[in-house]
Amino acid sequence: MTDKVHLGHRARKRFGQNFLTDDYIIGEIVNAIAPDDDHVMVEIGPGLGALTFPVMEQVEHLNVVELDRDLVQRFEEDQLLQRKLTVYQADAMKFDFAQLVADDKKMKLFGNLPYNISTPLLFHLFNFCDHISDMHFMLQKEVVDRMCAEPGSKAFGKLSVMTQYYCDAEPVVAVDPNCFTPPPKVVSAVVRLVPKTQRADVDTKILERVAGAAFNQRRKTIRNSLKDVLDASELEALGLDPKLRAEALSLADFIAIAQFVSQK
């Protein structure tokens, strides 16, 4: 099965394609995903099937969302696959993942996300967190570091705030460039995202706007970076020192600012 999908397909730069080919790393990632039939299994960007096939061996059914029409055709032409696989030829950034939920089962999402669209795609997926049990994605290690960063670190930023508002995040597998064909110019890592069962009541668009403004000019104090959102006396009223820089604030601080701005 695998060979039929591999046959003659060339990686396309415009889709950000780098195909995973290291069997040991593939095994490590599949173990982290922990496929089962108690969830709706969904793969984003199956590529040549490096994760698709080993996951399919462990479950009754798998959904895949793939933009590349040539790859979709290769999956659809395989009669053996049709019984266990439902292929959606679609742009994952516009796809309504809620349509895949059935029988009150939550989704387990996984995939080797195209690095050129990984951040906006993650923000799109956060909209479906209430339908998701967990997500395992391969991304640039730098992106994973930012998603999992603690306040006070240089990696802590808007992506950290938004990821950690929606999910508990942790890196689970490091992936060397040589595990891919063609090898990317960056080191990769797999992140585990588990949506939080309870989240603060806040307008997420305002939270995103506040975090974006705060980290847009990292060297500035929040008195300056957030001056279009609230003034120094309002920061002090929230118990925040206006002379702090954005990375010194916690997730709870950003939520408090966003809640305050919502009520202004």
Encode pLDDT of 139-179 as tens digits.
Answer: 999 999 999 999 999 999 999 999 999 999 999 999 999 99
Instruction: Note the pTM of the prediction, 2 decimals.
Output: 0.90
Residue 4 pLDDT level (bands cut at 50, 70, 90): very low
Both tokens assigned to 167: 């999910």
**pLDDT per position as a tens digit, 197-234:** 999 999 999 999 999 999 998 899 999 999 999 999 99
Question: What whole-number distance in Å separates Cα of residue 95 and Cα of residue 129?
Answer: 14
Cβ atoms within 10 Å of 221's Cβ, excluding its own: 18
Residue 81 has pLDDT above 80, yes or no: no
Number of H helices, E strands in the chain: 12, 9
Domain 204-263 has CATH 1.10.8.100: yes
Domain ranges for the chain: 2-195, 204-263
> Which spans in the chain are helix H?
2-6, 23-33, 52-56, 69-77, 79-82, 118-126, 141-148, 158-166, 204-216, 222-225, 232-237, 251-263
Q: So what's the pLDDT on residue 3? A: 37
- CATH architecture for the domain at 2-195: 3-Layer(aba) Sandwich (3.40)
Mean pLDDT within 109-119? 88
Cα–Cα distance measured from residue 194 to residue 196, given in angstroms and rounded to the nearest whole number: 6
Render pLDDT for 5-64 as a digit per residue (tens, 0 to 9). Answer: 443 444 444 444 568 889 999 999 999 999 999 999 999 998 888 999 999 999 999 999
